Amino acid sequence: MVTPEAAEEAVSCSIERLGNVPRPGRLVALKTKDEVRAALETFEAYIVGVSAKFAGAILNVIRESLPDLKTAEFQHLRRVVSFEYLPQHLQTRFGIIRYPESDIRDETDGFTALTRAEIRYLLVSPITAISQSGLIEVLAKKPPFLDASALPAVFTIPVPALAPTSAEQAAQWTRDFWPISYKNTNPYGPHPSLVARNTADIEEGAGTYLALAEAAGEQISELSLGEKVGCVIVDKTGGDEQIIAVTGDCRWQSRNGGPMKKEEPGNVMAHAVQRGIAMVAKKRLRVAGTNPESISSSKVFCDSPLTDHEKHFYSLDNIPPNGYLCSELDIYITHEPCVMCSMAILHSRFRRCVFSRRMPLTGGMTAGVGSVQGDGSTAVVRNVSGLGHGIFWRPSELNWKFLAWEWIDTDRLDTYLEVKDTLQA
Amino acid sequence: MDEEEKVYHERFMREAINMAELALASDETPVGCVFVKDGEIIGRAMNETNRTLNGTRHCEFIALSQILSTHPISILRETDLYVTVEPCVMCASALRQYGIRAVYFGCWNDRFGGTGGVLNIHSDPSVDKPYPVYGGIFREEAIMLLRKFYVQENEKAPKPTQKKTRELKTDILPLDIHSPKS
Ligand SMILES: [Zn+2]
Ligand SMILES: [Zn+2]
């Protein structure tokens, strides 16, 4: 959480003069497409309860009987669990079962009720590995079930199919499914330490840039030339942060420069992100000594600055001439960018992306059934599904990836930055 | 597709190939396109990402900017696109937002194709109307142009490249361009 005061200190004097008040809030890293998939996929597994002293022997007989069982595929699931570590619902379901014990015979019925401390619950295998009757047959070959007068108790439960991607998720799954082990790695997205480092790096300035993006969208909207969507492009590679471009949406500007009749979809190529990327390119040309206006470009791209904010930041020669596209740059956007703009950000090799309001019907960044939890006090709790593209991190399919966050504004209600829900930002 | 239709579509894809050849001669990624309304070409362009230093200046965007500088946006609803390489995810979304009528393309793009190569932006759930796509028209020629470009780029590279990579391969199965994923 960043207080407005702390964020204000991070503001460069040029923004202060523009009357920019940082937004209070915090960053939540987006889940990747694969993380979302991993969070949803489960399989059914057999659980067998047995006295602790037989746990090893039972696992051995299972290994011998199921030689093709790939235990590496469910390494994230604890194999042997005592009663006290079971999730609440399984404690209730398993209860205290009476188990046949070949060596401790009850006088009356040949069973002994194992105390909770003695029982171990074994995760045997996915149910696809063996039938339940087959499993019982295997178990009955060895003590304690050998010669026992009752069959072993076999349960079937759902368990997460893939490894957890964070400690929080592991803890959640341990409560919801079965005890999970977590090895501080993330095969389905950016490594947690990478996310943490980058979150810390940009958290202080994010509220400032988002407030500026909001103002950029408002300025153009006041001219009736666009929707209230804005973006800010920042270079934070050096010690001092540089704002490279500030743009608003310009979809309602007609060919002659004035507002056009607002008939959907308007000029799609004049979305705020497209204009921001175009201004970065023009600035690079200019800094390298080429007049960007000499490179023929259509007015339809709306890539010249229109408002005070846009003009101010476009005029600064604060970008290295030798950079490649938008690599090393960060982009802050008031709304989750549409699929076109999300891919434009990827094509432009951006380093990091932050947006404020989710666009479940049109956004290209979020990876799917998203649930952002509030911190219990002031944060907005949103629970929405999306298109599921997760364009920022699909490294096995797309040829670039970057880190992306959603900004949870602590100050406003859900109406903050509200737009028509079908808007393509 | 009957013979008459095939001839019709190939005529426009030939024009798109010509634009891709122009791109190759201009050190741009050899992808070209034409937009066609009522049998007339209303826009034609090649990729311009290198010249503009802008990674979004794909041929579709350049041609769209030409068209929209003289026509109303609504004309795109009666317009078809012919492009030598499958539209990327970005262009596929732009075309859908603009309401393009249909897209015809040469080869698939499995690095960032948006109409079947990687994603299905033309037909996935969306607030915008889906559009049909037809791939494979002059596919080999579209791929050959891309290959020539990679050879050309390798030759320009300052570091000496292995001779093998500089040879122009004539079989039509480069690693990064193939048929749509099932
Ligand atoms: Zn957009
Ligand atoms: Zn494209």
Instruction: State the complex-level ipTM.
Output: 0.90
Lowest mean pLDDT among A151-155, A289-293, B89-93: A151-155
* Interface check A59 vs B, CB under 8 A: no
CA distances for A285 relative to A56, A292, A294, A315, B50, angstroms: 69, 6, 10, 13, 11
Closest CA to A143 of A58, A63, A64, A59: A58
A295, A326, A340 member nearest B90 (Cβ): A340
pLDDT reported for residue A7: 46
The rounded distance, in Å, linking the Cα atoms of A201 and A199 is 5
Q: Is B11 exposed, middle or buried (0-12, 13-18, 19+ CB in 10 A)?
A: middle
Tens digits of residue pLDDT in A212-228 = 999 999 999 999 999 99
Secondary structure element (H or E) that encloses residue B12, with its range: helix B3-25
pLDDT reported for residue A407: 95
Closest CA to A1 of A20, A21, A24: A24
Lowest mean pLDDT among A129-143, A235-249, B68-82, B131-145: A129-143
Look at the alpha carbons of A246, A291, B33, B135 in this order and tell me if their dihedral is positive or negative.
Answer: negative
Quick one: tokens of A227?
């929707």
- Per-residue pLDDT at B112 exceeds 70: yes
Mutation for testing the A interface, residue in B57, B89, B91 having most A CBs under 10 Å: B89
Tens digits of residue pLDDT in B40-61 = 999 999 999 999 999 999 999 9
DSSP at B75: G
CA distances for A229 relative to A14, A337, A382, B73, B89, angstroms: 22, 9, 20, 21, 21
Q: What is the mean pLDDT of residues A322-330?
A: 94
Q: Is B10 a catalytic residue?
A: no
Q: What is the mean pLDDT of residues A2-20?
A: 55
Measured between CA atoms, the residue of chain A closest to residue B96 is: A340
- Per-residue pLDDT at A151 exceeds 90: no
The rounded distance, in Å, linking the Cα atoms of A233 and A280 is 8
User: For chain A, what is the HEC assignment?
Assistant: CECHHHHHHCCCHHHHCCCCCCCCEEEEECCCHHHHHHHHCEEEEEEEEEEHHHHHHHHHHHHHHCCCCCHHHHCCECCEEEHHHCCHHHHHHHCCCEEECCCCCCCCCCEEECCHHHEEEEEEEEHHHCCHHHHHHHHCCCCCCCCCCCCCCEEEEEEECCCCCCHHHHHHHHHHCCCECCCCCCCCCCCHHHHHHHHHHHHHHHHHHHHHHHHHHHHHHHCCCCCCCEEEEEECCCCCCEEEEEEECCCCECCCCCECCCCCCCCHHHCHHHHHHHHHHHHHHHHCCCCHHHCCCCHHHCCCCCCHHHHHHHHCCCCCCCCCCCCCEEEEEEECCEHHHHHHHHHCCCCEEEEEECCCCCECCCCCCEEECCCCCCCCCEEECCCCCCCCCCCCCCCCCCEEEEEEECCCCCCCCCCCCCCCC
Q: Which CATH number, 3.40.140.10, 3.40.50.150, 3.90.245.10, 2.40.30.10, labels domain B3-151?
A: 3.40.140.10
Could you tell me the strand order of the sheet in which A329-335 lies? A25-29, A403-409, A352-357, A329-335, A230-235, A242-248
pLDDT reported for residue A321: 83
3-state secondary structure at position B81: strand
Q: Mean pLDDT in chain A?
A: 87
Mutation for testing the A interface, residue in B28, B54, B73, B112 having most A CBs under 10 Å: B54
- Which A residues, 231 through 290, put their C-beta within 8 Å of a C-beta on chain B? 255, 263, 265-269, 274, 277-278, 281, 284-285
Closest CA to A187 of A33, A388, A349: A33
The rounded distance, in Å, linking the Cα atoms of B113 and A343 is 11
Mutation for testing the A interface, residue in B50, B53, B75 having most A CBs under 10 Å: B53
Question: To the nearest whole angstrom, how far is the Cα of B56 from the nearest Cα of chain A?
Answer: 6
Q: What is the mean pLDDT of residues B57-66?
A: 98
* Percent of all residues in chain B with a pLDDT value above 90, rounded to a whole number: 81
Residue of higher predicted confidence among B153 and A265: A265
- Is B81 within 8 Å of B101 (Cβ atoms)? no
Contacts of A270 in chain B (CB under 8 A): none
Lowest mean pLDDT among A89-98, A132-141, A201-210, A245-254: A89-98
Question: To the nearest whole angstrom, how far is the Cα of A73 from the nearest Cα of chain B?
Answer: 26
Lowest mean pLDDT among A44-58, A213-227, A379-393, B82-96: A379-393
CA of A331 to the centre of ligand 1 (A): 13
Cβ of A269 and B61 within 8 Å?
A: yes
Cβ of B98 and A399 within 8 Å?
A: no
Measured between CA atoms, the residue of chain B closest to residue A322 is: B53
Question: To the nearest whole angstrom, how far is the Cα of B160 from the nearest Cα of chain A?
Answer: 22
Confidence of residue A9 (pLDDT cuts 50, 70, 90): very low
pLDDT reported for residue B173: 39
Q: What is the mean pLDDT of residues A140-148?
A: 77
Mutation for testing the B interface, residue in A262, A269, A385, A420 having most B CBs under 10 Å: A269
Ligand nearest to the CA of B64: 2
Cβ of B54 and A340 within 8 Å?
A: no
Neighbouring C-alpha atoms within 13 Å toward the C-beta of A292 = 21
Measured between CA atoms, the residue of chain A closest to residue B66 is: A298
B68, B97, B111 member nearest A399 (Cβ): B111
A277, A299, A399 member nearest B56 (Cβ): A277
Question: To the nearest whole angstrom, how far is the Cα of B84 from the nearest Cα of chain A?
Answer: 19
Residue A407: beta bridge partners? A27
pLDDT reported for residue B180: 44
Cβ of A301 and B111 within 8 Å?
A: no
Note the pTM of the prediction, 2 decimals. Answer: 0.83
- Per-residue pLDDT at A189 exceeds 80: yes
CA of A5 to the centre of ligand 1 (A): 32
Contacts of A398 in chain B (CB under 8 A): 89, 111-112, 118
pLDDT reported for residue A330: 98
Size of interface A-B (CB pairs under 8 A): 107
Catalytic residue among B15, B21, B28, B60: B60
Q: What is the mean pLDDT of residues A283-290?
A: 94
Q: What is the mean pLDDT of residues A346-354?
A: 98
Residue ranges covered by each domain of chain A: 4-32+190-409, 41-101+113-177
Measured between CA atoms, the residue of chain B closest to residue A298 is: B65
* Percent of all residues in chain A with a pLDDT value above 70, rounded to a whole number: 86
Residue ranges covered by each domain of chain B: 3-151
Measured between CA atoms, the residue of chain A closest to residue B118 is: A397
- Is A135 within 8 Å of A58 (Cβ atoms)? no
Closest CA to B43 of B79, B91, B6: B79
- Per-residue pLDDT at A56 exceeds 60: yes
Cβ of A295 and B51 within 8 Å?
A: yes
Q: Which CATH superfamily is domain A4-32+190-409 in?
A: Cytidine Deaminase, domain 2 (3.40.140.10)
pLDDT reported for residue A213: 97
pLDDT reported for residue A95: 74
Tokens 């959640």 belong to residue: A172
Contacts of A338 in chain B (CB under 8 A): 93, 97
Cβ of A343 and B114 within 8 Å?
A: yes
Contacts of B88 in chain A (CB under 8 A): 343, 347
Question: To the nearest whole angstrom, how far is the Cα of B3 from the nearest Cα of chain A?
Answer: 35
Ligand nearest to the CA of A272: 1
